[in-house]
Amino acid sequence: MEKIVSLCKRRGFIFQSSEIYGGLNGFWDYGPLGVELKKNLKDFWWRRNVRERDDMEGMDGSIIMNRAIWKASGHEDTFSDPMVDCRVCNSRNRADQLPEKDGKKYCPQCGSRDLTEARDFNLMFKSHAGPLESEDNLVYLRPETAQAIFVNFRNVLDTSRQKLPFGIAQIGKAFRNEINPRNYIFRSREFEQMEIEYFCRPEDGMQLTDYWLEQRLKFYEDIGIPRSKIHINDIPDGERAFYSKKTYDLEYEFPFGVSELEGIAYRTDYDLGKHIEHSGKPLDYFDEATKERFVPHVVEPSAGVDRTTLALLCEAFDEETVTDEKGNSETRTVLRFHPRMAPIKCGIFPLLKNKPALVEKAKEIATDLRPIMNVFYDEAGAIGRRYRRQDEAGTPFCVTIDFDTIGENGPEKKDTVTLRHRDSMTQERIAISDLKNYLLEKIS
Ligand code: GAP
């Protein structure tokens, strides 16, 4: 993890939030490469789960919603973690994450065993909507995006004219005042979720949970996270939320241990039922074919953007020893992202920066590719160094514009460039006219 964290800072993937003021625990900023990586992940999730399907609608709800929603969903009363205080150093820790020795828990900060009893700490951040800091104006930053979907179920159903089964998908920020944020961006206080609520007839819930499990495993494979690295935890009876008939946790082999990436939960009609009860509004469904009226059940695949971004970084990170033509060995740090996820798709290099014809051609190629992919134009330093810089950024392809390209060595290779592959470091010659389609096929 240390190597990954340091590369992420050095190359501009992730920075500590508020760094120049000493940082803020549990908050992170994404830099130029990180924001592209995260955007590629979210765009591909949206494409797979919304654009490529007839049975899915997207939405984007507000972060702050009526407090009544959190009362109805149970978050106001029960969205809490057990917390203990250390009486010696005053640190606060999650009771269920305390280290233990000889059957006794102790403070992870100072080692003392003088701890208070556990008490519930609600994880929702509070604020006030409007100028008065009164109880009437109390609002919460949402701790999950899902509730915005449930409370818009009727709106989406009426405007989209979908029929069961169908889903609503949303990507957005969520906030949890975690007692102990940890493991870099794995557990933070501000993060993003990609959530689907897939509404169905009650008798289809179990089978659709397995269907979504398969869909989600395929998704991870398609972004470069192999099934062999994902552990499926089928949560046993008694350990699931009381309303859930089936829950799978998908866990990834992070360097700090196997930990949750996503939950896929069959939540029955619990959420819509609660909002019907609290709002008094009809969130049920009328089946034209069978003339039945009922409250739909729901299957919820809920993934974390930041955790998946971290998994992408961990999966991509590699160090290998390479030897040059002169026999010198060095360590090559490379991020082997799937081209779909790579923040920069193609590096574009004129062989020499002081040859206007090379520079002009290279800039022309960059300008042509820019509207459809993120490219990086670089004319500084030796070509080998430029390749290494792109290896560290995870750029799958680099093209070099040389004297062959501009026809100085004869007509055969005119208008061709060298295409260099990140993973194998092999090079091939490709016509400029074929370049765009070649790259598009690899990254789409
Ligand atoms: N609506 C269901 C729900 O929110 P969850 O298991 O609490 O379920 C879903 O959260 C996903 O959100 C998790 O699998 C994880 O990827 C992400 N997530 C939850 N808490 C997080 C945190 N503190 N930091 C980063 N990601 C988090």
Q: What is the pLDDT along the chain (444 residues), one digit of tens a residue?
A: 999 999 999 999 999 999 999 999 999 999 999 999 999 999 999 999 999 999 999 999 999 999 999 999 999 999 998 999 999 999 989 998 899 998 899 999 999 999 999 999 999 999 999 999 999 999 999 999 999 999 999 999 999 989 999 999 999 999 999 999 999 999 999 999 999 999 999 999 999 999 999 999 999 999 999 999 999 999 999 999 999 999 999 999 999 999 999 999 999 999 999 999 999 999 999 999 999 999 999 999 999 999 999 999 999 999 999 988 888 899 999 999 999 999 999 999 999 999 999 999 999 999 999 999 999 999 999 999 999 999 999 999 999 999 999 999 989 999 999 999 999 999 999 999 999 999 999 999
b/e sequence 402-419, b meaning 16+ C-beta within 10 Å: bebbbeeeeeebeebbbb
Q: Rounded to the nearest 5 degrees, what angle is found at the Cα of 163, between the Cα atoms of 161 and 167?
A: 95
Cβ neighbours of 207 (radius 10 Å): 11
Closest Cα to atom 21 of ligand 1: 187
Q: Could you tell me the distance, in angstroms and rounded to a whole number, from the CA of residue 175 to the centre of ligand 1?
A: 10
Q: Where would I find the H helices in 1-121?
A: 2-10, 32-46, 67-73, 75-78
CA distance 223 to 245: 29
Output phi, psi for 254, to 5 deg. Answer: -70, 160
Q: Ligand 1 pocket test: which of 17, 180, 191 has the largest number of ligand atoms within 8 Å of its C-beta?
A: 191
- Name which of 149, 257, 253, 245 is nearest 193 in CA terms: 149
Query: Do 315 and 224 form a contact (C-beta atoms < 8 A)?
Result: yes
Token pair for 116? 């208070």
Q: Is 147 in the pocket of ligand 1 (CB under 6 A)?
A: no
Q: Could you tell me the distance, in angstroms and rounded to a whole number, from the CA of residue 87 to the centre of ligand 1?
A: 31
- Name which of 135, 138, 183, 128 is nearest 14 in CA terms: 183
CA distance 413 to 410: 7
CA distance 171 to 150: 14
Closest Cα to atom 18 of ligand 1: 304
Query: Do 149 and 197 form a contact (C-beta atoms < 8 A)?
Result: yes
Say what the pLDDT of residue 97 is. Answer: 87
Q: Rounded to the nearest 5 degrees, what angle is found at the Cα of 186, between the Cα atoms of 4 and 252?
A: 80
